[in-house]
Homo-oligomer: A and B are copies of this chain.
Amino acid sequence: MTSPVSPDKLDTVLAEVDRGLDASLERLKALLRIKSISTDPAYAKDCRQAAEWLAQALGQEGFEAFVRPTPGHPMVVAHDRSAEGPHVLFYGHYDVQPVDPVELWNTDPFEPQIVALPDGTRQIVCRGASDDKGQLMTFIEACRAWRTATGGLPVKVSILLEGEEESGGKNLPPFIEANAAELAADIALVCDTDMWDRQTPSITTMLRGLVGEEIEITCADKDLHSGMFGSAARNPNQVLADIIASLRDVDGSVTIDGFYDDVAELPDAVKDQWKGLGFDEKAFLAGAGLSIPAGENDRSVLEQIWARPTCEINGIWGGYTGEGFKTVIPAKASAKISFRLVSGMQPDKIRQAFRAHVRARLPADCRVTFKEHGASPALTVPADGPLLGRALDALSAEWGKPAVITGSGGSIPVGGEFKRLIGLDTLFIGFAQNDDRIHSPNEKYDLASFHRGIRSWARVLAAFAG
């Protein structure tokens, strides 16, 4: 049984969001100060601290909240199932990316700064400000406003916060599977995506998947002197470069055997809708200081980033990289390589095809080792669910502009796992901007994203109750 939320009641909640904004911001800052870099074992304690901080904050807001162990960083699980109406499962992640190159930050990466721009916009600058601490706090703060203004939530709410989203997330699927009954709900909500632009809210229904690989090429059995051995001894830096160069064709396509076999063309309806978005390729690239699209040259930039798979070299290293010069032929060279997948592609098939591609190009007296760094398929969310329609309307009401349905080049594995393991569809609703510098120095979240993000969730929860 559900009962619609009256406009007056919703206004009371929205007024509470506005009234409490400063306090909401202080709570976000406290969370941002915790250095929860999940990929680096040196920050394991900080990750635990972030989980404990969140469980305590949720407990204070009336949730039953728990820090739950995993073989890696812990999960936070919280429930308030006292309301009538549908049951939502909200997902966010409290871990953040590393901060290097740290010298490019204007201020301490873990000391949040409020920066006012000449045009009057205000931004919260800190690692995690957008991805994902700022975003997840919009939902938690919306729940707080509901409780403060009305004494309770309008729908049943469960919350799952992960600490390994930025580092492979390998403990998430077994955790969901082991706690399937507890995590059962009607729909999942994820706040880890962008708005279409500063004025236009969006719900993302297509997300790319991800396969991460690390390779190490070994040639000689020790570092060699390039004077004594130069040209005769195989140089792993050269071998690695040759292999990486062979991964992409001059036209920007990936050359791995069978890479595009399972890639479907976009439905015409989607193509038409995307054309209607008026995406400005030049402005998008210019935002990164670039002007020439690097992907498949027969595809639009929007297709390249939302609907086409790619191969990216995220890291490369070998030999002497310090000050000055060392005339060494190193024994080893390495790279971290990731593949973004689109709907239909199978992560393991791509991983194996990549490994075969590397092995086929390896000189017979060299060796390669592979290390797996996570895998998730792409996700396409049905665009016709009733809750999706209600959420679009709620977002449109808050922002005064029709909400749009978009794709995303990023990978949020949890959506696919919710579907696969507990049958849940996911709505990806986020308030980030594409200039948030996530994963980069000086990451920021617009104060408007934070404030109106909280208001948006307050409206979405009301809409679901109706």
Contact = CB atoms under 8 A, between A and B. Distances in A.
Nearest to A131: B225
Contact of A220 (B235, B289, B309): B289
A198 B293 CA distance: 58
A319 B315 contact: yes
B222 A440 contact: yes
A325 B374 contact: yes
Nearest to A289: B221
A304 B232 contact: yes
Nearest to A101: B223
Given A208-B227, A223-B440, A288 B233 contact: yes
B232 A301 contact: yes
B305 A39 contact: no
Given A219-B290, A290-B233, A316 B326 contact: no
Number of chain A interface residues as a range: 35 or more
A45 B240 CA distance: 37
A340 interface: yes
Contacts of A232: 284-285, 293-295, 301, 304-305
Interface in A195-248: 208, 210, 212, 214, 219-235, 237-238, 240-242, 244-248
B313 A319 contact: yes
A8 interface: no
Nearest to A207: B227
B373 A324 contact: yes
B322 A100 contact: yes
Query: How many protomers of this protein does the assembly include?
Result: 2
A296 interface: yes
Interface string A238-280: 1011101111100010000000000000000000000000000
Interface string A75-86: 000000000000
A410 interface: yes
B248 A325 contact: no
A310 to B, nearest CB: 3
A314 B226 contact: yes
B245 A246 contact: yes
A364 interface: yes
A324 B40 contact: yes
Question: Taking each of A167, A295, A314, which has the highest tally of chain B beta carbons within 10 Å of its own beta carbon?
Answer: A314
B440 A312 contact: no
A329 B316 contact: no
A247 B242 CA distance: 10
A432 to B, nearest CB: 10
8 contacts: A39-B323, A226-B338, A231-B305, A231-B310, A233-B294, A312-B327, A313-B319, A316-B316
